[in-house]
Amino acid sequence: MVFIPGGEYKPLYAKEATPRTAPAFFMDAVQVTNAQFLDFVEAHPEWRRSQARSTQADSNYLKHWAGDLDLGAKAPPQAPVTHVSWHAAQAYCQSQHKRLPTQDEWEFAARADAKKIDASTDQAFLKLLLEWYSKPATSALESVQSGILNVHGVRGLHGLVWEWVHDFNSSMIVGDSRGDGSMERKLFCGAGSLLAADVSNYAAYMRFAFRSSLKGNYCVGSLGFRGAKSVSANAKDVKRPAIFKTPYDLLGEWRTQDDKPATLASLRGKVRVVTMGFTRCKFACPRIFHDMQKVEAALGADADKVGFTFLSIDPQHDTPAAMAAKMAELKMSGERWTFLTAPDDTVQQLAVALNFKFQLVEGFFAHSNLIAVLDEDGNVIHREESLGADIEPTVNSVRQLIKP
């Protein structure tokens, strides 16, 4: 691994573009290779192509390999492994006592060229990046050692493949990377604040746009990863189980509006209507709460059979007292409604599992809009991602689950 001293950098997003800080960290000098990932799946059978759960990896998982334990001609051993999901990349890093780099860490390291720590305004450097981004992908990737070396001693941050970052779902710009690329700004609360801070840095915009299009189980032929580690003795490279059937399998302690400890597993046993957000929100969240209360009203007496659950993305401000105050303001019954808050990493894991995106921008959160119906075991049965949508499909989904 290579030591990166850390420091401040100007992020792409936010109109004011307040500098962000990346603490010192370690980063792998090159991406993880096919050969290294083969060693991993040999030792961890649950991550073999035929065994991986669809919740952790889609049907493109390791599709360029000849078989579970056979790389074949399309996956050179020393080329970066691709067609791996965020969950699979996380699992690999944990097996090596590492983690995925954060977006801040990756962007800070990626500003460097061969001579300068910050080449983000160097037009020759930016032109080189755009030339790579516009180059069609080839069927077989080159060795990770062929990647361009920067001043930190890291190879291939640009020029070989895109790379997963830990908090990829904090980038919100465009639509599905595997689909038609349609804009989804309308889906985000506070999306007007996500203006590029430097419109001339189109290469950075493309990176953020690509990350914005991803979901945790996506496996893309141009997407690989590398590991990272924290330097600070106080920093925690938190480990979470990468294998889960439903979000209720995820670990981590939450606290209720009554300041009682809870786990996601404790939500089992009841059909639930679920959302994520933050109580300070003045835009989408009030409308989402209103729609959920309309669903509650439409169910009539059957609403007693259903749990209505709010999971906060803002642990700094959404204390149990703040959540209880919001419930009182909205006249929500504690018999039906549960508000939960948890540390950032626990929230991040759940957000990825629910395909929920959020990003702190100038003190508030931009976030996707979600009302989800989960069955008694936590399987997502129905999703609504548009504000003010007809509640009937959500109500019908709930009724189907609670009928005798």
Residues 29-77: tens digit of each pLDDT: 999 999 999 999 999 999 999 999 998 999 999 999 999 999 999 999 9
Which single residue is written with the structure tokens 């039906």?
A: 336
| Of the candidates 189, 197, 216, the residue with the CA atom closest to the CA atom of residue 313 | 189
Residue 357 to residue 191: CA distance in whole angstroms: 12
CA distances from 285 to 231, 292, 355 (A): 37, 10, 17
What is the rounded average pLDDT of the residues 9-19? 61
Residues 367 and 188: beta-carbon distance below 8 Å: yes
The DSSP secondary-structure symbol of 389 reads -
Could you give the 3-state DSSP secondary structure of residue 112? coil
CA distances from 4 to 21, 154, 183 (A): 13, 9, 35
Chain-centroid distance of CA 269 in Å reads 27
Burial 251-289 (b: 16+ CB within 10 A, else e): ebebbbbeeeebbbeebbeebbbbbbbbbebebbbeebb
Q: Which of 121-130, 219-228, 265-274, 287-296 has the lowest mean pLDDT?
A: 121-130
| Of the candidates 139, 32, 148, the residue with the CA atom closest to the CA atom of residue 79 | 32
Residue 60 to residue 81: CA distance in whole angstroms: 13
Residue 310 to residue 371: CA distance in whole angstroms: 10
Q: Which of 125-139, 306-320, 327-341 has the lowest mean pLDDT?
A: 125-139
- For the stretch 337-355, pLDDT in tens is 999 999 998 999 999 999 8
Q: Residue 360 half-sphere exposure, CB side, CA atoms within 13 Å?
A: 13
Q: Residue 382 half-sphere exposure, CB side, CA atoms within 13 Å?
A: 19
Q: What Rg, from alpha-carbon coordinates, does the chain have?
A: 22
Could you give the 3-state DSSP secondary structure of residue 271? strand
- The residue ranges of DSSP E strands in 70-184, in sequence order, are 162-163
In the predicted structure, residue 300 carries a pLDDT above the cut 50:
yes
Higher pLDDT, 242 or 131: 131
- For the stretch 228-254, pLDDT in tens is 999 865 555 555 555 788 999 999 999
Tokens of 319: 């204390």
Sequence-ordered list of residues with C-beta below 8 angstroms from that of 80, at least 6 positions apart, any chain:
30, 31, 32, 33, 34, 141, 144, 156, 160, 161, 224
Residue 247 to residue 151: CA distance in whole angstroms: 41
Residue 210 to residue 204: CA distance in whole angstroms: 10
CA distances from 222 to 86, 99, 141 (A): 13, 20, 9
The reported pTM is: 0.78
Beta-bridge mates of residue 308: 273, 337
What is the rounded average pLDDT of the residues 199-222? 78
| Of the candidates 26, 214, 204, the residue with the CA atom closest to the CA atom of residue 126 | 204
The residue type of 126 is L
What is the rounded average pLDDT of the residues 112-141? 79
Strands 20-22 and 188-189, bridge-based pairing: unpaired
Which single residue is written with the structure tokens 């989402």?
A: 288
Tokens of 255: 């606290």
| Of the candidates 396, 397, 403, 387, the residue with the CA atom closest to the CA atom of residue 189 | 387
Q: What is the predicted pLDDT for the residue at 17? A: 57
Residue 165 to residue 107: CA distance in whole angstroms: 10
In the predicted structure, residue 204 carries a pLDDT above the cut 80:
no
% of the chain at pLDDT higher than 90: 62
CA distances from 397 to 291, 380, 388, 403 (A): 15, 11, 17, 10
